[in-house]
Amino acid sequence: MSTSYFEFYNLEEQFFIDESSLKQTYLKLSKEHHPDFYIDDEEKYDAALELTSTNNMAFKVLKSLDNRIPYILRLNNTLTDKDNNLPSEFLMEMMDVNEEIMDLKMDFDADKLRRVKNQVDGLSQEWNQKIKSLAKLADSQKGEERGYTLKKIKEFYLKRKYVLRLIESLNTFAPH
């Protein structure tokens, strides 16, 4: 597909969009172009099938801010699949958290688990707020200014993604 999902729905590329309007457009297109309407015409059926597939994928990506963030970053060549460069001070801080998780695996302590979970949850919430604040700013910007803000969003997005993996790891501990 050569057009973006925003273009597919005739939307401006924004982090914050009218999600109910998006859903209405999705449902309208789903009904109008359902492949079953073209069962007797193979060419129209194939085209409807392709449009339905694009519609489903576009809606899946655009329906939530969490999905729009990496999509917009990728559209603007700010995020690639190989991106994982995080600041060394962040990695050092996370190394300490990882060590605490390893300690918990070897010698479980409910109080320590609660403390580490609270620390990691706090970081995730803090970065989530920064991402939302920067996304709001980016929606009002153009050009280089927006590019700089997208790079800051990417940094917090990658940090949050890292911390979400830690949260998943912490959630594997069975309550004692």
Per-domain boundaries in the chain: 5-63, 88-170
Among 11, 149, 4, 170, smallest CA distance to 101 is for 170
For the chain, residues with pLDDT lower than 70 are: 1-2, 174-176
- Torsion region of 77: left, alpha or beta (phi above 0 gives left; psi -120 to 50 gives alpha): left
What confidence score (pLDDT) does residue 37 get?
83
CB 15 within 8 A of CB 65: yes
Which residues 6+ apart lie within 8 Å of 25 measured at CB?
9
What confidence score (pLDDT) does residue 175 get?
60
Instruction: Say how many residues make up the chain.
Output: 176
Which residues 6+ apart lie within 8 Å of 71 measured at CB?
5, 61, 62
Instruction: Write the DSSP string, 33-81.
Output: T-GGGGTT-HHHHHHHHHHHHHHHHHHHHHSSHHHHHHHHHHHTTS--T
* DSSP assigned state of 174: P
pLDDT, tens digit, 9 for 90 and up, residues 85-111: 888 999 999 999 999 999 999 999 999
Instruction: Write the DSSP string, 142-173.
Output: -HHHHHHHHHHHHHHHHHHHHHHHHHHHHTTS
pTM over 0.85: yes
What confidence score (pLDDT) does residue 148 get?
97
Among 55, 57, 54, 64, smallest CA distance to 17 is for 64
